[in-house]
């Protein structure tokens, strides 16, 4: 079956760094996405990885290891506005997006 | 103005009623999707369309139907609403691009079936 696993909830401190992990088992792989979703709002795109390695975009970075079925999202210099859910999604062999349940990130002052 | 819009934003309906959720986009994308989101679960795909003449069932299409009236419009219908269809519904669009076809989401429709 197809499965995406990510922690349900994480807590971090303002100004710190947090890493949100995502592991996946899918029938084929055509890229991995990270989205941010504030409570009651629409998901918004953060990053896309299709090759192994690290992609950096400002305070956010995303890493992929296809051989391990593993990705992480790294958030640096955390701000209170980063409190949100972070969704990992994998495009499978049929080019469909399989979504994880999301990680709720709580930022404390 | 928002690129992807959904109407209504909130809807309360009774069991057995037929309702329609509408989605419009100005991004010029060919691909459109309907998802539902339930607490503790990931987004689940209901239907998707890669162009006006193409409609495909997603993971959880039972109890739903769709219509792609134009490139910019994609409607979702619940033929006979039931309480377990209470959820947050999102429309999304995409086009293959530099970031591999990221999806752009509408603001969502919160549907309650009593």
Q: pLDDT tens for residues A37-80? A: 999 899 999 999 999 999 999 999 999 999 999 999 999 999 99
Mean pLDDT of A92-108: 89
B17 to chain A, minimum CA–CA distance in Å?
A: 25
pLDDT of residue B49: 93
Q: Which of A41, A43, A49 to mutate to test the interface with B (most CBs of B within 10 A)?
A: A43
A50 to chain B, minimum CA–CA distance in Å?
A: 8
A73 to chain B, minimum CA–CA distance in Å?
A: 16
Which tens digits make up the pLDDT trace of A40-50?
A: 899 999 999 99
Query: What's the average pLDDT block by block, 10 residues per block, for chain B (114 residues)?
Result: 90 97 94 92 91 92 96 96 97 77 93 97
Could you tell me the sign of the dihedral formed by the alpha carbons of A24, A30, A33, A39, in that order? negative
B108 with A48: Cβ contact below 8 A: no
pLDDT of residue B24: 97
pLDDT of residue B98: 52
Which residues contact residue A85 at a Cβ distance below 8 angstroms, ignoring those fewer than 6 apart? A36, A37, A38, A39, A102, A103, A104, A105
Residues of B with CB under 8 A from a CB of A: 40-45, 48, 58, 90, 99-108
The pair of structure tokens assigned to A23 is 């592991």
A45 with B106: Cβ contact below 8 A: no
Residue B25 burial by Cβ neighbours in a 10 Å radius (0-12, 13-18, 19+): buried
pLDDT of residue B40: 81
**A97 and B CB contact within 8 Å:** yes
A87 with B43: Cβ contact below 8 A: yes
> In which band, very low, low, confident or very high, does the pLDDT at A31 lie, cut at 50, 70 and 90?
very high
């Amino acid at each position: 079956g197809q499965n995406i696993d990510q922690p349900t909830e994480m807590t971090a401190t303002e100004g710190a760094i947090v890493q949100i992990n995502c592991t996946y088992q899918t029938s084929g792989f055509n890229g991995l996405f990270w989205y941010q979703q504030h409570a009651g709002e629409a998901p918004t795109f953060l990053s896309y990885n299709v090759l192994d390695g690290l992609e950096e975009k400002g305070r956010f970075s995303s890493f992929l290891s296809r051989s391990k079925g593993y990705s992480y999202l790294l958030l640096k210099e955390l701000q209170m506005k980063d409190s949100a859910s972070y969704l990992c999604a994998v495009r499978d062999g049929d080019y469909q997006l399989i979504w994880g349940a999301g990680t709720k990130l709580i930022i404390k002052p | 103005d928002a690129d992807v819009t959904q109407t209504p934003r909130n809807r309360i309906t009774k069991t057995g009623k037929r309702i329609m959720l509408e989605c419009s986009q100005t991004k010029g994308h060919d691909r459109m999707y309907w998802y539902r989101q339930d607490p503790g679960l990931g987004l689940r795909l209901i239907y998707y369309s890669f162009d006006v003449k193409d409609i495909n069932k997603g993971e959880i299409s039972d109890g739903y139907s769709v219509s792609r009236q134009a490139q910019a419009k994609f409607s979702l219908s619940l033929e006979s609403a039931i309480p377990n269809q209470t959820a947050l519904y999102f429309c999304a669009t995409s086009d293959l691009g530099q970031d591999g076809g990221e999806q752009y989401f509408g603001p969502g429709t919160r549907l309650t079936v009593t």
